[in-house]
Amino acid sequence: MDISQNGTLAELRNTFAQLTVPSPDKLAGAWEGKYIGPFWLRTFAPLAMGLGPLRGWSGKRFIDNQNAINIVGMGQQQQDKHPMTISKSNGLDTLPVIALKYDKTLPFPLPRLTDEIRMVRDDCLMGMAVLDIPLLRKVGWPFILTRKPGS
């Protein structure tokens, strides 16, 4: 399945609902992240992330079946920041997902953020970032993760 990089939020939510849940043991390695969705979201998301603890977000690293971490920065300046735990859960749409949850001690808004993950194909995952904040908890903010070569 191909994912529209600039689809509407409704289209991307519908696409996300059709995807399958990946097995956590197939996720190990580094994944390059990219914001997708309407122009306003692809423009606003990096700016909004730049104001918070994930400034320069560029992907995720799945360490093992239970742990992942964000990759921030570009090129030689990349570093791992803000670990997450991996679990199977039901997503915003009530269907199964891999849920990436942040520790409660991390800076706001991370403790209120859950990244829901489903598989597009072996080398591509789609995510929905869900913020547990009034007025935003029913919205998923879409992104794509593509497996980095050699991971």
- 23-39 pLDDT, tens per residue? 998 999 999 999 999 99
Contacts of 23 (CB under 8 A, 6+ apart): none
Number of separate domains in the chain: 1
Which CATH number covers residue 93? 2.40.128
Q: What are phi and psi of 88, to 5 degrees?
A: -90, 140
- Say what the pLDDT of residue 40 is: 87
Residues recorded for the chain: 151
Residue 4 lies in a domain: no
Range of the domain at 81: 9-147
Residue 32 · residue 145 · CB < 8 Å: yes
- Say what the pLDDT of residue 86 is: 97
Residue 19 lies in a domain: yes
Q: What is the DSSP string of 108-145?
A: TTGGGEEEEEEEEETTEEEEEEEE-STTTTT-EEEEEE
